[in-house]
Amino acid sequence: MSLPRTTVAGDASVSGVGLFTARPATATIRPADDGLHFRRTDLPGSPVIPIRIDNAVELPGLPPGMQARNTTLAAPGAHGMPGAFMATTEHILSALAAAGITDALIDVDGPEIPIADGSARPFAEAIAAAGRRPFAESYDRPRLARAITVTAGPASITATPHDLPTCRLEYRLDYGPGAALAAQSAAIELGENGAPARYLHEVAPARTYCLAAEARAMRAMGLFGHITTREMLVIGDDGRPVDQEWRLPDEPARHKLLDLIGDLYLAGPLPRATIIAHRSGHAMNQAMAREIVRARLH
């Protein structure tokens, strides 16, 4: 089944500050016809960063282990990242994937995509308001030559090929016995045009979160001083949000699903497959994206 290449019909903008850099920025998704790219409009020459897995790097300046908490891309030839990088790309890419947007130029006047409310909803709503414009050209959702599994300790992601013209993704969250946050799961199926309506209501509103112990540790590292518990979802030792309420049932699993979609979009159009992630994070999601590229049938 052929799928239409699609761009946005008009500009779609979201403004705010970066979660890690605390820098203000506006991200504007613009119509394009040559794939997906970020453009750093605040840097001399406005360097362009192609959105693909081989441009994924670690965000500089973070304490050890913190790089795995987001997905950063760097311009080709600038993987030492003197400046030509784009941090925290996963939420905007997730919204683009779910809307079926295959081509866009995303202008950003800062080093990091705005965190907004911690979810993908502002991006999904902006894309919906701008509208979609399909091209005459189409493509087939890629097939995988084989099943793929990546693992690290108790975490894993498995991609199993199927004959349907869809990609089904599921995230299974489990912090183990006695954890404050109960085991939970969330799933979505992306079809010919993604799944914009279902995604907007069931996945996009889910916010990035951390456990209370993680929040205390990150504050001790000097991180996130510009954000309070009313702006970032922190899960207390009782398993409830601090100073907030859940937006969705199983919101943490839904946010992990949101991240999974965005990270895997670095491999290009999501494949005809069932993809099940268990306890994975950005680093493992990126590892699966690399494996999908290797296993894709053209």
Please write the tens of the pLDDT for every residue from 182-217: 999 999 999 877 788 999 999 999 999 988 877 777
Residues paired with 151 in a beta bridge: 156
Q: Mean pLDDT, to the nearest integer, of 17-21?
A: 91
Specify the amino acid at residue 271: P
Residue 20 to residue 87: CA distance in whole angstroms:
8
Q: Mean pLDDT, to the nearest integer, of 149-154?
A: 96
Confidence of residue 20 (pLDDT cuts 50, 70, 90): confident
Q: What is the pTM of this model?
A: 0.94
Joined tokens for residue 247: 């937006």
192, 98 in Cβ contact below 8 A?
no
Q: In this predicted model, which residue has the larger pLDDT, 222 or 46? A: 46
Please write the tens of the pLDDT for every residue from 99-133: 999 999 999 999 999 999 999 999 999 999 999 99
pLDDT, position 217:
75
pLDDT, position 64:
63
The residue written with tokens 């500050």 in the block is: 17
Residue 228 clears pLDDT 80, i.e. is over it: no
Q: Looking at the annotation, which residues are catalytic? A: 282
Kindly state which CATH superfamily the domain 2-297 is placed in.
lpxc deacetylase, domain 1 (3.30.230.20)
